[in-house]
Amino acid sequence: MWSGRFREPLDTQFEAWQRSFPFDWRLLPQEIAASSAHARVIAAAGILTPAEADRMIAGLEAVGKLALSESEFHNPNSSSAASIAQAEDIHHFVELELTREIGDLALKLHTGRSRNEQIATDMRLYVRDSIDIILAGLGKWALALIGLAEQAGDAVMPSYTHLQRAEPVLVAHWLLTYVSMIERDISRLQDCRKRMNLCPLGSGAIAGATLALDRTIAAQSLAFDGPTSNSMDATSDRDFALEFTQVLSILGLHISRFAEELTLFSTAEFGFLDLPEAFSTGSSAMPQKKNPDLTELIRGKSGRLIGAATSLSVLIKGLPLAYNKDLQEGQEPVFDASSTVQGVLAVLPAFTSSLRFRFDRMASAASSGYLNAMAAATYLSNKGVPFRKAHEQIGNAVRFGLESGRELEALTLEELKQFGDQFAEDFYTAITVEATLDCHDVVGGTARRRVHAALADGRSRILAEIDQQTVKSAKLE
Ligand code: ARG
């Protein structure tokens, strides 16, 4: 591919070691698409006749049908074994295979282009494809959460601050928290997609193509919004990969919080849910165990995603312009982050839909431990008691209750009146679980009518954001 100026052959160990083909074979579909677009560009520039361009594109399509995979790579009987053994990278592989397909005409494909712009283009296409698949997977997970929240109806649970019981909330309200996180992840992915959707083809090795190519042809045929604006930037920029992995690491953090809460809630100590057997494992030593492997693994995967984003940052820091071979090291973190998230999203929606909560346990946890104290203070402040005073009076009532082992609703009116004279009979209806929920009657609050509305709004926003066709056809790795 480039041996003309060399007198000596490469050291064989070095030659094998510097190849990227052992991992960039994943870029075959993107490389075929980008090469076909380039064939159209050079045909328009008169380098290929229309008939030659057709033959070349048909040849590329044939090469694109090869089933590259980890196992094919090690298969000595593969029909492409000779090219696999020789190829330095995916670009080299496609040229070798194209030559087998269409003969010497293949040698014209590299006119006016460089591998530096090719890899930049392939990686953008790969990230763009990954974003589309991940968006569909996120949509599925959000709908699974909304479905679960709808099933929960008006079931209540305690909410926690400092991991201490705080106030009762609807189970649906808690689940919708994760839908809000997903919506931000969706918007970050869409944003990243928009920003990266420019085509590097025509940037050459560093200074721009050496032929007067019409770059809009390639941009259009690859569904980019236009060509990139600076050839040095286009061949050295990996912001799209950085952003993509950073967005995925944030998404991983969200998923890990969900995983951690479920792990915790499934313990005997909480007892808020029975782990679905289809997604749990037993212990080879302790016969009674049912372990939350799915949520634990997900928690672990988020570390891996942060690792990918960190690798890319460290790789790019201080890298001089423009292309440097270091950039080859930036591929694997992107591949790994993309398939890690796809793997998680392939199991998470079904796991989520199969969750069955123990609403009785949740409700009893929500109705003891003075979780209605804030509603009680609000009752007094609605009667004109300044909130600081109301807080203190209810605090005193709680202390009194603690001493005699009773909740606020179990204290008599007479007992309550020693802490303030505004307590009246209607106090008891103001501190039921329902009243405690419904006093949070603000947008985003846990009042029942607000949560019902939030569920409907959440569902319609997700349906509007995620194309349902893609959700159905998305093939998560
Ligand atoms: N395999 C290379 C990479 O992934 C392709 C670009 C090679 N360019 C070069 N000038 N050696 O970065």
Average pLDDT over residues 445-467: 95
96 shares a domain with 75: yes
Q: Where residue 426 sits, what CATH number does that domain have? A: 1.10.40.30
d(CA 241, ligand 1 centre) in Å? 16
pLDDT of residue 295: 96
Structural domain range at position 61: 10-111
Catalytic residue among 3, 71, 162, 229: 162
Give Cα 37 distance to the centre of its chain.
Answer: 30
pLDDT of residue 206: 98
450 within a domain of the structure (yes/no) = no
What is the per-residue DSSP string for 217-230? HHHHHTT-SSB-S-
440 within a domain of the structure (yes/no) = no
pLDDT of residue 472: 63
- Domain edge (last residue) among 111, 142, 168: 111
d(CA 63, ligand 1 centre) in Å? 21
Alpha carbon distance 421, 416 (integer Å) = 8
152 shares a domain with 89: no
Is the pLDDT at 287 greater than 90, yes or no? no
222 shares a domain with 335: yes
Taking only the tens place, the pLDDT of each residue in 50-85 is 999 999 999 999 999 998 887 887 888 889 999 999
pLDDT of residue 468: 67
- For residue 331, which atom of ligand 1 is closest to its CA? 4
Q: Where residue 76 sits, what CATH number does that domain have? A: 1.10.275.10
Q: How many domains does the chain have?
A: 3
pLDDT confidence of 152, banded at 50, 70, 90?
Answer: very high
- Domain edge (last residue) among 45, 79, 111: 111
265 shares a domain with 410: no
Taking only the tens place, the pLDDT of each residue in 325-354 is 999 999 999 999 999 999 999 999 999 999
188 within a domain of the structure (yes/no) = yes
Tokens 């589309």 appear where?
Answer: 132
**Which residue among 1, 3, 115 is best mutated to probe the pocket of ligand 1, counting the most ligand atoms within 8 A of its Cβ?**
115
Is the pLDDT at 446 greater than 90, yes or no? yes
Is the pLDDT at 1 greater than 80, yes or no? no
- Domain edge (last residue) among 51, 78, 111: 111
293 shares a domain with 379: no
Residue 275 CA: distances (Å) to CA of 259, 343, 353, 356, 383: 12, 20, 12, 8, 46
Is the pLDDT at 2 greater than 70, yes or no? no
Is the pLDDT at 364 greater than 70, yes or no? yes
267 shares a domain with 342: yes
Three-state secondary-structure class, residue 366: helix
Taking only the tens place, the pLDDT of each residue in 191-240 is 999 999 999 999 999 999 999 999 999 999 999 999 999 999 999 999 99
From the list 60, 74, 152, the residue with the least C-alpha distance to 106 is 60
356 within a domain of the structure (yes/no) = yes
Average pLDDT over residues 359-365: 97
Mean pLDDT, the chain, rounded, equals 95
100 shares a domain with 68: yes
Three-state secondary-structure class, residue 281: strand
Alpha carbon distance 215, 142 (integer Å) = 39
**For the chain, what percent of residues have pLDDT higher than 70?**
98
327 shares a domain with 289: yes
- For residue 325, which atom of ligand 1 is closest to its CA? 12
447 within a domain of the structure (yes/no) = no
69 shares a domain with 26: yes
467 shares a domain with 412: no
pLDDT of residue 473: 66
286 within a domain of the structure (yes/no) = yes
Average pLDDT over residues 86-90: 96
Say which DSSP state 9 is in: P
